[in-house]
Amino acid sequence: MEQSNQEDKDGFFYPRGRYYGQVKPANLLFNANLQEFAQKVAIITSLETSGKLSPEEAYNQIKVLWKQLKRSKKELGIGNDQPNGSESLDGI
Domain locations along the chain: 23-76
> How far is the C-alpha of 39 from the C-alpha of 37, rounded, in Å?
5
Res 55: pLDDT: 97
Residues whose CB is less than 8 angstroms from the CB of residue 69 and which lie 6 or more positions away in sequence, other chains included = 33, 34, 37, 89
In order along its 92 residues, the chain shows pLDDT tens digits of 567 777 666 666 666 678 788 889 999 999 999 999 999 999 999 999 999 999 999 999 999 999 999 999 999 999 886 554 445 565 55
Q: How far apart are CA 88 and CA 79, in angstroms?
A: 7
